[in-house]
Amino acid sequence: MPGYELFWISGSPPCWRVMLAMEVKGLDYKPVRFDNAKGEQKDPEFLKINPLGEVPVLKRGELVVCQSLAILAYLDKAHPEPALFGATAAETAAIWQQILQFDATMPGPIRAITRPIFRRRIAEHMEQILEAAEKIRPELDAIEMRLTGAGVLAGSAVTAADIALYPPLMQLMRAAGNEEAQGLNLGLHPLSQHYPRIAHWVERIEALPGYDRAYPPHWRS
Ligand SMILES: N[C@@H](CCC(=O)N[C@@H](CS)C(=O)NCC(=O)O)C(=O)O
């Protein structure tokens, strides 16, 4: 059987989700990295694989899976150990509930903060950034409250809920910790001061096997 190929962009939260899941499951794959600045994901050859020109895309021979959550679900079925979507119906529901709630509320406000900060256009988007932080803080309060027990988002082990929420939250924290952004008092940075349980959870994810291999390479420089 042919091996997995993963089409990805460094720093893309959906791609990071998939890479973390593959590392946790100990799966080999050939990474095919696109340069977002050059728009390589819109290359006609890749559009034949995913007409949306978006990543992540997981490919194995004729099999093509797009959408990070669909890829996680596929991987969990194809490689059941360790289980990412729970062992019982109740666990599966709790995991999906958290992922869907997060994806329904957070990506917009996170983008509203990260884009202007990463593009060094804070001053002209100040109001947008502050408004987005107002929306994000209650969601983070809820996540903080959920991390009372085993220190993971659902059940007692790392699941798809942790893997799905971690990358976008790290992108947010990277923006909030940006030197220019720190003066904005967004109530997000440093994480350990505002959200100690989330900070502890971050350490737990960082200790996962293969975490370093999945870390966005362009964030290291
Ligand atoms: N809902 C999709 C989102 C995929 C997505 O937005 N990918 C972005 C990178 S974060 C992308 O490919 N952007 C490049 C483009 O649209 O040209 C998923 O979860 O996989």
pLDDT in tens, 192-218: 999 999 999 999 999 999 999 999 999
Give me ligand 1 centre to Cα 115, in Å.
14
The pTM of this model reads 0.97
Per DSSP (E only), the strands in the chain are 4-9, 29-34, 57-60, 63-66
Question: Which of 43, 26, 146 has its CA nearest to residue 78?
Answer: 26
pLDDT in tens, 29-84: 999 999 999 999 999 999 999 999 999 999 999 999 999 999 999 999 999 999 99
Question: Which of 119, 116, 138 has its CA nearest to residue 184?
Answer: 116
Residue 70, phi-psi category: left (phi > 0), alpha (psi -120 to 50), beta (remainder)? alpha
User: Is the peptide bond prior to 13 cis by the omega test (within 30 degrees of 0)?
Assistant: no
Average pLDDT taken over every residue of the chain: 97
Q: Which atom of ligand 1 is nearest to the CA of 56?
A: 20
Give me ligand 1 centre to Cα 14, in Å.
7
Which domains, from first to last, does the chain contain?
4-78 (3.40.30.10), 89-215 (1.20.1050.10)
